[in-house]
Chain A
Amino acid sequence: MFQLEAPLTGRRQVARDTFVLSFAAPEVAEAALPGQFVNLLLRPGPLLRRPFSVFRATEGRVEILLRAVGAGTAGLLALEAGDRVSMLGPLGNGFTLDPAWGSVALVSGGLGAAPFPIAAAAARAEGLTVTWVHGARSAADLCSEWEGDDALWATDDGSRGHHGSALDAVPDGIGAVLACGPNSMLAAVAGRWPQAQVAVETYMGCGTGVCLGCAVPLASGGYDRACREGPVYRAAAIDWKALPGHLHYAVGA
């Protein structure tokens, strides 16, 4: 785990209101595994750090995917090249990849694409055939960047690809499913592929396991911490009824 001052090196738009930010953070980029996250602090800005999945980590740079949903993300989007954030990471446990699967589907909804470019690269390096399955409300909301051998799209309004859920676009006979998106979508993933690995979304305080704020209710009872034991879980391990389905971010600074 590193904590460093990371300058913004790039920003590009990848969907409506959605951007990839790139920061120079060599130590974090070197250490980051697929599914791990970084916790970013902006000063001046909101009190707490904000967690972001690592989108890509190459050539000394850490990329994140974000949309302006509150004061924290708005502040990040207002950064200019060279402006620094405090980056803590990499944090959490990532996806486990098994070459024996043969193939894997990376299934995402909206900002849930966040952990998957790095996961796709790692999966291909393991010899897996990677199918990128990505859904959003509308064609304009689909993340334009993807990685893998094949991409399948889904939109709620039918404007591109499958008309409906990304889950329905997953091809039959796939070796394994990794998923990320709204918790309500992940609950549906759990119903269909209990063995899938899912990256959950929670509010988070410290990111290091101290505050117990990012509680994830477990099917076996009790809670553990998205930041330490997660954020990647076996889908069947979570008590989905007790996990908030959608988080509203409206924190004023």
Chain B
Amino acid sequence: MSDLAVAVGNLALRGPVMAASGTFGYGTEVPLLDRTKLAGMVSKGIFLRPRAGTPPPRIVETPSGMLNAIGLQGPGVEALIRDYAPLWASWDFPVLVNLNAESIDEYGELAARLDGVPGVGGFEVNISCPNVEQGGMYFGNDPVAAARVTAAVRQRTRLPVWVKLTPMVTDIAVVARAVEAEGADAVSAVNTFVGMSIDLNTRRPRLANRTGGLSGPAVRPLAVHLAHQVARSVRIPVIGIGGIATAEDALEFLVAGCRAVQVGTATFVDGAAIARVHDGIAAYLERTAIASLEELPRCLPKD
């Protein structure tokens, strides 16, 4: 059996396959998964205060994908600390908390509140949030704002800080380098793509929110390309995300330069998807006589 352990910065993971934010809840609700194959999880996105979320319909299936506009429904950071962190502290894989805020100060405040809480193993900063102080522009669309968010979190914690990049930018490498420069330990690439679907019975958007985040196999080639661009642009590890449902999907991201991957939408279909991906990666390494995951990115010719 190949050793699938990887290190993302200072964080040691027992394998390369993690659960993506928003697709694993707070870790208590996904059924039928052999968690010895789970390398880590990123929590559902959390804000300082509770949020009700958006009105239904919140999801719609599209060809090979799904659009979602959940609106980051959640209990707020205090409930997360009270109800979930104590459970996480007893688990044998790290839990990173996905941080969300509407101002740079709030990101910092959130990190400060969670820093040192037993069970919190690190942070993944979701910069695909509107910056209310800057007219609602998304932090992640502006390398300067993305860098300031990263710095605000970095200053409040010594835990691992990962930044989840949005694909909705002109040049993702610019944003990746900006957050790397402010001390991000890794980047997650990529978040969902903004999409829209229209119901021709009503001639209105299918989602009450009009637009939503597209995920699933439909986005995979786009995500592999973006993750690859990021991997070529920064020295910090890249976590590949986007439509991974099988080991082959995950291996594409690993060959493209990612240190690890996150499985998201596939978990909705099959709670055991993460374990299947983990096992399939191990089988692939055995079959190809590739000694370790670190060799995979070196397989890809440079240009």
Number of contacts between A and B (CB, 8 Å)? 107
Q: Which of A167-197 contact B (CB under 8 A)?
A: none
Chain B proximity of A130: nearest CB distance (Å): 32
Chain B proximity of A135: nearest CB distance (Å): 22
Question: Which of A214, A216, A250 lies in contact with B199, CB distance below 8 A?
Answer: A250
- Known pairs A48-B61, A213-B70, A248-B202; A3 contacts B56 (CB<8 A): no
Q: Which of B48-86 contact A (CB under 8 A)?
A: 52-66, 68, 70, 73
Name which residue of chain B comes closest to A43, CB basis: B269
Q: How many residues of B contact A (CB 8 A)?
A: 40
Is the Cβ of A47 less than 8 Å from the Cβ of B52?
Answer: no
Is the Cβ of B55 less than 8 Å from the Cβ of A205?
Answer: no
Name which residue of chain A comes closest to B206, CB basis: A248
Q: Which of A28-65 contact B (CB under 8 A)?
A: 41, 46-49
Name which residue of chain A comes closest to B25, CB basis: A210
Question: Which of B53, B200, B201 lies in contact with A212, CB distance below 8 A?
Answer: B53
- Known pairs A47-B217, A47-B265; A213 contacts B59 (CB<8 A): yes
With a cutoff of 8 Å between Cβ atoms, the chain B residues found around residue A15 in the complex are none
Name which residue of chain B comes closest to A222, CB basis: B52
CA distance A251 to B56 in the complex (A): 17
Q: Which of B189-233 contact A (CB under 8 A)?
A: 199-202, 208, 216-217
Question: Which of B31, B57, B64, B217 lies in contact with A203, CB distance below 8 A?
Answer: B57
One of A5-13, A113-121, A239-247 at the interface: A239-247
Question: Which of B25, B31, B55 lies in contact with A1, CB distance below 8 A?
Answer: B31
With a cutoff of 8 Å between Cβ atoms, the chain A residues found around residue B58 in the complex are 203, 212-215
Which among B22, B57, B270 has the greatest number of chain A C-beta atoms within 10 A? B57
Chain A proximity of B125: nearest CB distance (Å): 21
Query: B30 at the A/B interface (Cβ < 8 Å)?
Result: yes
Name which residue of chain A comes closest to B73, CB basis: A212
Is the Cβ of B29 less than 8 Å from the Cβ of A208?
Answer: yes
Is the Cβ of A206 less than 8 Å from the Cβ of B267?
Answer: yes
CA distance A202 to B60 in the complex (A): 11
Query: B32 at the A/B interface (Cβ < 8 Å)?
Result: yes
Is the Cβ of B32 less than 8 Å from the Cβ of A203?
Answer: no
Is the Cβ of B55 less than 8 Å from the Cβ of A248?
Answer: no
CA distance A221 to B61 in the complex (A): 27
- Known pairs A48-B66, A48-B269, A222-B52; A203 contacts B30 (CB<8 A): no
Is the Cβ of A215 less than 8 Å from the Cβ of B268?
Answer: no
Chain B proximity of A48: nearest CB distance (Å): 5
Question: Which of B24, B61, B73 lies in contact with A210, CB distance below 8 A?
Answer: B24
DSSP class of B's interface residues: helix, strand, loop or mixed? loop
Interface code B249-277, partner A: CB below 8 Å = 1, 0 otherwise? 00000000000000001011111100000
Is the Cβ of A203 less than 8 Å from the Cβ of B23?
Answer: no
Question: Which of B61, B217, B265 lies in contact with A251, CB distance below 8 A?
Answer: B61
Query: A112 at the A/B interface (Cβ < 8 Å)?
Result: no
With a cutoff of 8 Å between Cβ atoms, the chain A residues found around residue B29 in the complex are 208-210, 228
With a cutoff of 8 Å between Cβ atoms, the chain A residues found around residue B53 in the complex are 212, 215, 223
Query: A253 at the A/B interface (Cβ < 8 Å)?
Result: yes
- Known pairs A211-B268, A223-B73; A3 contacts B57 (CB<8 A): no
With a cutoff of 8 Å between Cβ atoms, the chain B residues found around residue A88 in the complex are 31
CA distance A210 to B33 in the complex (A): 14
Is the Cβ of A211 less than 8 Å from the Cβ of B61?
Answer: no
Which among B58, B64, B272 has the greatest number of chain A C-beta atoms within 10 A? B58
Which among B202, B217, B270 has the greatest number of chain A C-beta atoms within 10 A? B270
Name which residue of chain A comes closest to B26, CB basis: A210
Which among A204, A217, A243, A250 has the greatest number of chain B C-beta atoms within 10 A? A250
CA distance A210 to B273 in the complex (A): 14
With a cutoff of 8 Å between Cβ atoms, the chain A residues found around residue B216 in the complex are 47
Chain A proximity of B21: nearest CB distance (Å): 11
With a cutoff of 8 Å between Cβ atoms, the chain A residues found around residue B52 in the complex are 221-223
CA distance A211 to B56 in the complex (A): 13
- Known pairs A210-B24, A222-B52; A47 contacts B267 (CB<8 A): no
Q: Which of A100-145 contact B (CB under 8 A)?
A: none
With a cutoff of 8 Å between Cβ atoms, the chain A residues found around residue B62 in the complex are 251-252
Knowing that A210-B23, A244-B57, A244-B208 are A-B contacts, what are 7 other residue pairs whose CB atoms are under 8 Å apart, sorted by A's residue number? A3-B32, A49-B268, A204-B59, A208-B30, A222-B52, A223-B73, A250-B199
Closest 10 CB pairs of A and B: A213-B59, A206-B268, A251-B61, A209-B29, A210-B25, A248-B201, A215-B56, A212-B70, A210-B29, A205-B268
